[in-house]
Chain A
Amino acid sequence: GAGVSQSPSNKVTEKGKDVELRCDPISGHTALYWYRQRLGQGLEFLIYFQGNSAPDKSGLPSDRFSAERTGESVSTLTIQRTQQEDSAVYLCASSFSQVGTEAFFGQGTRLTVV
């Protein structure tokens, strides 16, 4: 497809289990962002990838969170030993890296930890 694709769209997991969320950005987009959004709240920055540069991981809330991106393609966000507080929608966005560039968001993955 032409847009940012995220999978799964919904994930229910038991506390303590690991989960992996996937993001397929728009082809050619060098920048990729992960955000967390709790119910009724704004965006919480997690991590930013730009080409082959070292990622900006300053938003990751704990060492249970990690993310990878291979080149300028797919990214995965991994949450280890999930906690109930991790329940949220995880949004991925991608963009070109140029003035006035627009970020395109996926539909998000709704994660519920029970």
Chain B
Amino acid sequence: TQLLEQSPQFLSIQEGENLTVYCNSSSVFSSLQWYRQEPGEGPVLLVTVVTGGEVKKLKRLTFQFGDARKDSSLHITAAQPGDTGLYLCAGARGSNYKLTFGKGTLLTVNP
């Protein structure tokens, strides 16, 4: 059983469209993070959310942490080809704040 379920697994859209990807769990996390991975590179942190209900914006990206701290969403407005990549969520739990990664959403933005 995957602790963090990401959906959709694959998403292909046209430049200019909006999209939302989801990260869901039945477990509570002390914090949740979103990473983006570009081809040939390791994942890189985009944002960390800590408080239930928290919303953070990073240019055209909006991240939300669920009130119960079990889920999160990433919304991209007016997607661009440069947004193409694998988006991963990761939740921290336990006294050691072990990070658990979802399998990711592979986003392709076509020009």
Identify which of B55-63, B76-84, B89-97 touches chain A. Answer: B89-97
Do the beta carbons of A45 and B101 come within 8 Å of each other? yes
Chain B interface residue count, CB cutoff 8 Å, equals: 28
Between A and B, 28 residue pairs with Cβ closer than 8 Å are: A31-B98, A33-B99, A35-B101, A42-B102, A42-B103, A42-B104, A43-B43, A43-B104, A45-B101, A50-B96, A51-B96, A91-B42, A98-B97, A99-B31, A99-B50, A99-B92, A100-B50, A100-B92, A101-B92, A101-B97, A102-B48, A103-B35, A103-B43, A104-B42, A105-B42, A105-B43, A106-B42, A107-B41
How far is A101 from B35 in the complex, measured between Cα atoms in Å? 13
How far is A61 from B47 in the complex, measured between Cα atoms in Å? 31
- In the bound complex, residues from chain A placing their C-beta under 8 Å from that of B101 are 35, 42-43, 45
Q: For chain A, what secondary structure do more than half of its interface residues adopt (helix, strand, loop), or is it mixed? A: loop
What's the nearest-Cβ distance from chain A to residue B96, in Å?
Answer: 5
Task: Give A4's nearest chain B residue, CB to CB.
Answer: B42
Residues of chain A touching chain B, judged by Cβ–Cβ distance below 8 Å, are 4, 30-31, 33, 35, 40-45, 48, 50-51, 53, 56, 91, 93, 95, 97-108
